[in-house]
């Protein structure tokens, strides 16, 4: 059995997906260069996909990895195969120049599992709900237009911190949404320029708006109104950008720093006035261990002993500081920001 066939079988056995989706993914989206596998008795016993994404962090961009499709054959579980693959994925991501590896756990209990490898929850959304009786005001200023990647990309880049979708990622999301019976919709204003885009998939009694990009609240209302025309009887559940109120946040995904230096380079570039001396501890990726000096928008590294530290943290704690509210960043003297991780393969 070849690698592709073996991974397809694992997907079929472990995930609730249709044959139509399997045919689509393994014919149009599957990339064997992203596959990490473990064999037992001559067959693929465990696998995960490690894809690559750009991520915007303020005025900087970093390369990141994304793990999905992690699965193990039932009779091969409990042998440490997935644990070994995750460690391999972290090492491979660092070799590729990825500052982070992100993922979306398939269940709540898996958040605890991934924490064992230094992953920590930093991606949140603000879950907004609208009853089926709610009416969205489209107004006379807006009209529906075709969903276009260039417009999607322009609106996505308006976000302060977010994983960025390439054109291929966008095309995959459009097809995936359609296979789920959902819609991708966009609206433009009087000037003809697209000002809002949304992707949504229906469930039994609700419509899940997986991403909503808009220039302002009025444009967001208009694109929701277009979705309402297609799904008039469903409650809407919207994954909106996280706000400043922790009580309103719904966890969305996790990250793991694979290269502290690359991440701090991006952080420092966002605040040339920041002055920090940070010692980082990392039991899984020893190359991250050491002291990082942030000054004048640049970072220098040393493995020497320095007494005057401003922070002494492990890699997961550093991630929770960097990817947090600006209020938290102000406490630690770093330009913190809450990132988004949406419309991803799961």
In this prediction, residues 267-280 reach a mean pLDDT of 96
For residue 330, what pLDDT band results from cuts at 50, 70 and 90?
A: very high
**What pLDDT, on the 0 to 100 scale, is given for residue 167?**
98
What is the domain partition of the chain in residue ranges?
3-103, 126-246, 259-314
- Measured CA to CA in angstroms, residue 95 lies from 68, 89, 90, 299 at distances of 19, 10, 9, 20
Decide if 123 contacts 252 (C-beta within 8 A): yes
For residue 65, what pLDDT band results from cuts at 50, 70 and 90?
A: very high
In this prediction, residues 223-246 reach a mean pLDDT of 92
Query: Is 259-314 in CATH node 3.20.20.70?
Result: no
Residue 40 has pLDDT above 80, yes or no: yes
Report pLDDT digits (tens) over 291-300.
999 999 999 9
**What pLDDT, on the 0 to 100 scale, is given for residue 140?**
86
Give the Cα separation of 332 and 322 in Å (integer): 9
Which pTM value belongs to this model? 0.95
**What pLDDT, on the 0 to 100 scale, is given for residue 297?**
96
Give the Cα separation of 48 and 304 in Å (integer): 37
Residue 239 has pLDDT above 80, yes or no: yes
**What pLDDT, on the 0 to 100 scale, is given for residue 309?**
96
**What pLDDT, on the 0 to 100 scale, is given for residue 230?**
96
Residue 244 has pLDDT above 70, yes or no: no
Residue 1 has pLDDT above 80, yes or no: no
In this prediction, residues 117-142 reach a mean pLDDT of 94
**What pLDDT, on the 0 to 100 scale, is given for residue 247?**
73
H helices of the chain, where? 3-14, 19-24, 81-95, 108-115, 149-156, 167-179, 217-230, 260-270, 315-322, 326-332
Same fold, 126-246 and 259-314: no
Return the number of other C-beta atoms located less than 10 Å from residue 38's C-beta.
Answer: 19
3: three-class secondary structure by DSSP: helix
Phi, psi of 90 (to 5 degrees): -65, -40
Pick left, alpha or beta for residue 97 (phi over 0 → left; psi -120 to 50 → alpha; otherwise beta): left
**What pLDDT, on the 0 to 100 scale, is given for residue 305?**
83
- Measured CA to CA in angstroms, residue 16 lies from 106, 202, 229 at distances of 11, 16, 29
Residue 323 has pLDDT above 90, yes or no: yes
- Buried-state track 212-248, b at ≥16 Cβ within 10 A, e below 16: bbbeeebbbbbbbbbbbeebeebebbbbbbbeeeeee
- Which of 69-78, 109-118, 131-140, 212-221 is predicted with the least confidence, judged by mean pLDDT? 131-140
In this prediction, residues 166-171 reach a mean pLDDT of 97
**What pLDDT, on the 0 to 100 scale, is given for residue 248?**
78
Q: What is the DSSP letter of 96?
A: T
In this prediction, residues 233-245 reach a mean pLDDT of 90
Report pLDDT digits (tens) over 107-122.
999 999 999 999 999 9
Which H or E element spans position 143? Answer: strand 143-145
Tokens 């059995």 sit at which residue? 1
Return the number of other C-beta atoms located less than 10 Å from residue 177's C-beta.
Answer: 19
Specify the fold of 126-246.
Answer: Aminopeptidase (3.40.630)
Decide if 87 contacts 119 (C-beta within 8 A): no
- Measured CA to CA in angstroms, residue 129 lies from 79, 107, 205, 207, 248 at distances of 42, 21, 12, 10, 12
In this prediction, residues 240-262 reach a mean pLDDT of 90
Residue 249 has pLDDT above 70, yes or no: yes
Structure tokens at 33: 């260069």
For residue 137, what pLDDT band results from cuts at 50, 70 and 90?
A: confident
**Could you tell me which CATH class the domain 3-103 is placed in?**
alpha beta
Q: What is the DSSP letter of 242?
A: P
What mean pLDDT is reported for the chain? 96
Return the number of other C-beta atoms located less than 10 Å from residue 158's C-beta.
Answer: 11
Residue 246 has pLDDT above 80, yes or no: no
**What pLDDT, on the 0 to 100 scale, is given for residue 250?**
94
In this prediction, residues 237-265 reach a mean pLDDT of 91
Return the number of other C-beta atoms located less than 10 Å from residue 183's C-beta.
Answer: 20
Return the number of other C-beta atoms located less than 10 Å from residue 28's C-beta.
Answer: 12
Closest CA to 106 of 67, 161, 79: 67
Give the Cα separation of 282 and 291 in Å (integer): 12
- Measured CA to CA in angstroms, residue 155 lies from 170, 201, 228 at distances of 13, 20, 21
**What pLDDT, on the 0 to 100 scale, is given for residue 188?**
97
Count H helices and E strands in the chain, helices first. Answer: 10, 16
For residue 274, what pLDDT band results from cuts at 50, 70 and 90?
A: very high
Closest CA to 95 of 52, 136, 60: 52
- Which of 46-60, 205-219, 246-260 is predicted with the least confidence, judged by mean pLDDT? 246-260
For residue 186, what pLDDT band results from cuts at 50, 70 and 90?
A: very high
CA 335 from centroid of its chain's CA atoms: 20
């Amino acid at each position: 059995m070849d690698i592709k066939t073996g991974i397809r079988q694992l997907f079929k056995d472990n995930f609730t997906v249709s044959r139509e989706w399997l045919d689509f993914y393994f014919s149009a989206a599957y990339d064997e260069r992203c596959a990490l596998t473990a064999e037992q008795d001559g067959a693929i016993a465990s696998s995960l996909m490690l894809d690559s994404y750009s991520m915007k962090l303020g005025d900087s961009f970093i390369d990141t990895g994304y793990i999905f499709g992690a699965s193990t054959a039932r009779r091969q579980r409990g042998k440490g195969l997935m644990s070994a693959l995750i460690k391999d994925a972290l090492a491979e991501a660092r070799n590729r120049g990825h500052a982070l590896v992100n993922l979306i756990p398939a269940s709540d209990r898996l958040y605890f599992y991934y924490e064992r490898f230094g992953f920590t929850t930093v991606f949140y959304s603000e879950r907004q709900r609208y009853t089926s009786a709610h009416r969205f005001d489209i107004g006379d200023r807006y009209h529906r237009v075709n969903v276009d990647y260039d417009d999607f990309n322009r609106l996505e880049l308006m976000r302060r911190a977010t994983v960025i979708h390439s054109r291929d990622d966008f095309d995959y999301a459009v097809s995936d949404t359609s296979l789920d019976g959902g819609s991708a919709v966009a609206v433009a204003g009087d000037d003809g320029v697209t000002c809002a885009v949304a992707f949504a998939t229906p469930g039994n009694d609700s419509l899940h708006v997986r991403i909503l990009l808009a220039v302002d609240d009025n444009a967001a209302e208009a694109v929701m109104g277009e979705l309402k025309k297609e799904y008039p009887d469903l409650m809407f559940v919207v994954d909106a950008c996280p706000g400043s109120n922790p009580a309103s946040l719904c966890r969305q995904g996790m990250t793991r720093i694979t290269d502290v230096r690359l991440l701090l380079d991006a952080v420092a570039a966002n605040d040339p006035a920041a002055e920090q001396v940070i010692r980082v501890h990392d039991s899984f990726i020893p190359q991250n261990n050491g002291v990082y000096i942030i000054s004048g928008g640049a970072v220098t590294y040393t493995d020497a002993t320095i007494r005057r530290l401003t922070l002494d943290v492990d890699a997961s704690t550093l991630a929770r500081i960097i990817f947090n509210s600006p209020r938290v960043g102000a406490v630690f003297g770093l330009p913190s920001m809450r990132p988004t991780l949406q419309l991803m393969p799961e």
